[in-house]
Structure 1
Amino acid sequence: MEEARAQKSFPVKAKVKTKGRSQKRSPEWKYWSSFKTHQIPNLISVPSLTFSPTPPHTFAAAHSASLTLFSPQTLAPTATISSFSDAVSCASFRSDSLLLAASDLSGLVQVFDAKSRAPLRRLRSHTRPCRFVHFPRLDKLHLISAADDALVKLWDVAEETPIVDFLGHKDYVRCGDSSPVNSDLFVTGSYDHVVKLWDARVRDSKSSLHVNHGAPVQDVVFLPSGGMVATAGGNSVKLWDLIGGGKLVYSMESHNKTVTSICLGRIGRDSGEDSNQFRIMSVGLDGYLKVFDYGALKVTHSIRFPAPLLSVGYSQDCSTRVIGTSNGVIYASKRKVKQVEKEKVSESSLFWRIAPLERTEKKVLRPSHFRYFHRGQGEKPSEGDYLVMRPKKVKLAEHDKLLNKFRHADALISVLESKNPGNVLAVMEELVARRKLLKCVSNLDAEKLELLLVFLHKYCTSPRYSSLLMGFTKKVLEMRADEIRDSEALKRHVRNLKRSVEEEIRVQMSLQEIQGIISPLLKIAGR
């Protein structure tokens, strides 16, 4: 057995390893991490962000008594609308991006020309602050608004009059969305914990369906299929099946504080996933942005920002993401997309045509040609060649060389002096396999024993190494008890070792007490 071990030419490696977090990142993690964030400061609390549905996908930010438009390419403000008498609460582009509607806390809803910023309509009917305004996605003639008076109104924009008042909410109505497949259906969410589905064709102002979120509803969006909605309130985002009668599908509760806004985002083509897949992005007062894959029912990405988050928006071309905060900063993120531009020269624009230079590839040698057998070492292999590679020489550390020479004690001292705990543990495991570890310890002099005790004091309570070192430490103290009694230096190291072990025991007992307190609470919460 000794001869067989002497022939080994590979370095020893530790077998005891902790289960750490995997360093491999998914393609989707790389995709969301490719967004480079820029700050747009000097604003006041940003409760609403909305993107234009048509290129170049300008976005509008509501802050204080102003509505500012930003360029998605430069992230710089291009225009500001200030014709408001109170703080702006919400904004919405029409499907053709020609009109822009905005509501404020005075209860007024205004419609602007998106290019000239000129006010075209003033819709006044709400008696309390208006918190939500929205152009239906498939309708250019009507507008939806909701306010703190618990009313939801459908407006005829051209006539500047409300068509119908939808009654049913018992508290502030703060959010809503329209169906992506039917221009007559839309939903609204209220602080009465209820989300209601409305049909504009039914003029008796009764909701077609309602679901109870269980907390004040901060935001609601339709999923692309039109048969499901996602609602945000409290610290959860919930999915509801409208076709199935309002059945709860899933509840995502990864936020620590109130979820303030959600939006849908499509995955780009370079993410490694299908480009038709959508994700739900949620932001909350805990400062986190969560990306939720509602197909796999899991959170695929998470980012922390240094402020409470109030709003989130995502452009339809998958290139820009914006997040509004309570301290007046917009975190705008751009994704770099590699674009390969092909230059085409028209034949009519040249006096004569220059033929492109053809690539001349080296002729592949075949075994039937005599030059095939006269190739030198510098010849590059072709696709079908079989390569015989020289084995790479393994560079051995000093302790590995000593182990190969059966100098076990010298190997242990050498690796202890290197102060690399991983290598020390690997050598100890190798000596255990050779049944030489305790013999090496018994032959150590006082100076080398002190070096070993210093190592054990530093690493024996470490979770990564404790499975081997705790038992080994006990054996060392038993074997060398006489030498330790006669040396003050060794006694000092043993006292330090004892204090470390006692401190670790106290920590473990405290953790067990905390676990005993938390376990009943988790069982109660899971019922």
Structure 2
Amino acid sequence: MAEDHQIIAKNFPVKPKLKPTSTKSTSAESKYWKSFKPQPIQTLIASITSLSFSPAPPHDFAAAHSATVTIFSSQTLEPKSTISSFADTATSASFRSDGRLLAAGSHSGIVQVFDVKSRTPLRHLRRHSRPVHLVRYPRIDKLHLFSGGDDAVVRFWDVASETQILEFTGHKDYVRSGDCSPASDDLFVTGSYDHTIRLWDVRVSSGGSMMEVNHGKPVEDVIFLPSGGLIATAGGDSVKIWDVIGGGKLLYSMESHNKTVTALCVGKIGKESGDEAQQNRILSVSLDGYMKVLDYAKFKITHSMRFPSPLLSVGFSPDCLTRIIGTSNGKIYAGKRKTKENVGAEVGNIAGLGPINEPPKRALRPSYFRYFHRGQNEKASEGDYLVMRPKKVKLAEHDKLLKKFRHKEALVSALRGKNPENVVAVMEELVARKKLLRCVSNLETEELGLLLGFLQRYATMPRYAGLLMKLAKKVVEMRAEDVRSDDVLKGHIRNLKRSVEEEIRIQQSLQEIQGIISPLLRIAGRR
């Protein structure tokens, strides 16, 4: 009797236990990166070769495309101004630390310095003989910048006097990328298509590099990580992390992209830009259309996102509110992260007219009809405890029969429904109640045909084979006399035998293939 009460207390409807559970889970970090809601930005003329954020608030960003550099507002994501003073394609742009000046290189070989507000070209730095793809301002220094180009030369400039201070030689191919050290304005790193990354010090007048590492593929981008002791490089389909303090020791190589990795930047995980609990991540984009987020402290990819176009550039704002990605077809995928302050500002202001003063609400009294319906549409706040009304579960026919302990009728009902998950769930429930074999022995000839037909179709499926193959053996043993006396049942048994033999043949073929491949994999692993 106690067993019957335990069965009655079981939750219905029954569900199959054989169904594999999904291991996919949405982590807090994935939710963070998905919170950057994409907003449309107008399609520009050509490929977005460079994206750069201003270090100074409100952190506007510049996009280099065609013979133009367009400056966008990070608040509205609308274009604020356009600089078109280029004789050829603009390739790279960099803001000064105060955000007032912008330096840009182009295919003409000239590095130009512009006033951001007036868009006036203030300086023209002319020494490169080939296109310039790298222009960077140091972290704090406002008077100097360095550049690199297809002439394989890296040059350090005094912007005020338009003169070259130092010339660094050592690369043997195009210099396409570089970055300034966050620890010292005297150190910077460059990457070249000769597969090497070189660390330079402007205090060394000889012009030789302080350190050299080989990425193994043409270097598309190189960045310093925030500590200043590590650098990340992109080339081919890999992103590598190097220990600068340790003399250029390779720490990690990420090879999850399928095509050339084109750009890197540092992103941050945290509530706000001043949060001490912030953690740094490396954002990489590739021609395969994927953006990947790498936690370089754990050497683990924490998030991945697919875009419909090949990706060429990426940027992340210093205030952690905007993420931008440039593509080969002129589109910018910009993501804005909404904060409580942003949402409050949107609600309290319309078109910049200032806060809205809501009229005072009239107090509700018992004489009003609304008094008795108050609070029904209120949404729960963060600390409220919700008491949910239990949902009425609609039971299938086989569940109703199981609740009434009509076991054979429940099995037949599930078999007639032709849903394999429901049938297996009922069988598992009958096994738990120790009633399945009794039901099989009591089946009529037509009902037995339904069971054999089901076994013939699904017994060899990996999801159900563990239960159904054992059941098929028991059915044949228990109902052998009934099968011999009925041609329809004989046909089901022949079909079941044919399905089992075919499955055995497939498994044998797979074992033969595994025997051929396993030695080859072991040999490849030794190499």
1:34-93, Cα deviation, whole Å (9 max, x unpaired): 111134324311111111111111111111111111121222222211121221111111
1:304-343, Cα deviation, whole Å (9 max, x unpaired): 0111111101111111111111122111111111118699
Alignment correspondent of 1:212: 214
Change (3 A) 1:518 1:184: farther
Alignment correspondent of 2:414: 415
| Contact 2:272/2:320 (<8 A) preserved | no
Change (3 A) 1:15 1:50: same
| Contact 1:133/1:145 (<8 A) preserved | yes
C-alpha distance in structure 2 between counterparts of 1:522 and 1:48, whole Å? 44
Alignment correspondent of 1:36: 37
| Contact 1:39/1:329 (<8 A) preserved | no
Alignment correspondent of 1:465: 464
Change (3 A) 1:499 1:278: farther
How far residue 520 of structure 1 moved from its aligned partner, in angstroms, is 3.2
Alignment correspondent of 1:352: none
1:213-257, Cα deviation, whole Å (9 max, x unpaired): 121111111111111111111111111111111111111121111
C-alpha distance in structure 1 between counterparts of 2:206 and 2:298, whole Å? 39
C-alpha distance in structure 1 between counterparts of 2:84 and 2:526, whole Å? 50
| Aligned with residue 169 of structure 2, among 164, 167, 170 | 167
Alignment correspondent of 1:445: 444
Alignment correspondent of 2:27: 26
1:30 partner amino acid: K
Alignment correspondent of 2:71: 69
1:142-189, Cα deviation, whole Å (9 max, x unpaired): 111011111111011111111111011111111000011100000001
How far residue 458 of structure 1 moved from its aligned partner, in angstroms, is 4.6
| Contact 2:149/2:174 (<8 A) preserved | yes
Q: Secondary structure at the match of 1:322?
A: strand
Alignment correspondent of 1:427: 426
Change (3 A) 1:147 1:521: farther
Change (3 A) 1:523 1:108: farther
C-alpha distance in structure 2 between counterparts of 1:106 and 1:135, whole Å? 20
2:175 partner amino acid: V
How far residue 505 of structure 1 moved from its aligned partner, in angstroms, is 5.8
How far residue 521 of structure 1 moved from its aligned partner, in angstroms, is 4.6
2:306 partner amino acid: R
My pick for the range that moved more, 203-212 or 439-448, is 439-448
C-alpha distance in structure 1 between counterparts of 2:481 and 2:147, whole Å? 87
| Aligned with residue 231 of structure 2, among 229, 232, 235 | 229
How many residues are matched? 482
Task: After TM superposition, list the pairs within 5 Å mapping 1:322-333 onto structure 2.
Answer: 322-333=324-335
1:239-290, Cα deviation, whole Å (9 max, x unpaired): 111111111111112111111100001223179x964211100001111000
Q: Secondary structure at the match of 2:88?
A: coil
Change (3 A) 1:413 1:257: same
- Aligned-residue sequence identity (percent) comes to 62
Alignment correspondent of 2:370: none
Q: Are residues 1:125 and 2:127 paired?
A: yes
Change (3 A) 1:93 1:393: closer
Alignment correspondent of 2:189: 187
Alignment correspondent of 2:203: 201
Change (3 A) 1:150 1:485: farther
How far residue 447 of structure 1 moved from its aligned partner, in angstroms, is 2.9
Task: After TM superposition, list the pairs within 5 Å mapping 1:504-523 onto structure 2.
Answer: 513=513, 517=517, 520-521=520-521
Scaled by the length of structure 1, what TM-score is found?
0.82
How far residue 464 of structure 1 moved from its aligned partner, in angstroms, is 2.6
My pick for the range that moved more, 196-205 or 242-251, is 242-251
Change (3 A) 1:394 1:305: closer
Q: Secondary structure at the match of 1:44?
A: coil
Q: Secondary structure at the match of 2:80?
A: strand
Change (3 A) 1:483 1:274: farther
Alignment correspondent of 1:316: 318
My pick for the range that moved more, 145-154 or 273-282, is 273-282
How far residue 211 of structure 1 moved from its aligned partner, in angstroms, is 1.3
| Aligned with residue 264 of structure 2, among 262, 265, 272 | 262
How far residue 480 of structure 1 moved from its aligned partner, in angstroms, is 4.7
| Contact 2:52/2:95 (<8 A) preserved | yes
| Aligned with residue 241 of structure 1, among 240, 243, 249 | 243
Q: Are residues 1:297 and 2:296 paired?
A: no
C-alpha distance in structure 1 between counterparts of 2:453 and 2:248, whole Å? 65
How far residue 441 of structure 1 moved from its aligned partner, in angstroms, is 2.1
How far residue 474 of structure 1 moved from its aligned partner, in angstroms, is 4.0
Q: Secondary structure at the match of 2:318?
A: coil
C-alpha distance in structure 2 between counterparts of 1:423 and 1:331, whole Å? 45
C-alpha distance in structure 2 between counterparts of 1:104 and 1:392, whole Å? 65
Task: After TM superposition, list the pairs within 5 Å mapping 1:485-496 onto structure 2.
Answer: none
Alignment correspondent of 1:356: none
How far residue 407 of structure 1 moved from its aligned partner, in angstroms, is 3.0
Task: After TM superposition, list the pairs within 5 Å mapping 1:8-23 onto structure 2.
Answer: 8-9=7-8, 10-11=10-11, 12-23=14-25
Q: Secondary structure at the match of 2:340?
A: coil
Structure 2: runs of 5 or more not aligned:
348-389
My pick for the range that moved more, 396-405 or 38-47, is 396-405
| Contact 1:6/1:406 (<8 A) preserved | no
C-alpha distance in structure 2 between counterparts of 1:282 and 1:8, whole Å? 55
Q: Secondary structure at the match of 1:269?
A: coil
C-alpha distance in structure 1 between counterparts of 2:337 and 2:497, whole Å? 55
Change (3 A) 1:186 1:392: closer
Change (3 A) 1:321 1:403: same
How far residue 438 of structure 1 moved from its aligned partner, in angstroms, is 2.8
RMSD of aligned alpha carbons? 3.3
1:132 partner amino acid: L
Q: Secondary structure at the match of 1:73?
A: coil
2:437 partner amino acid: L
| Contact 1:67/1:88 (<8 A) preserved | yes
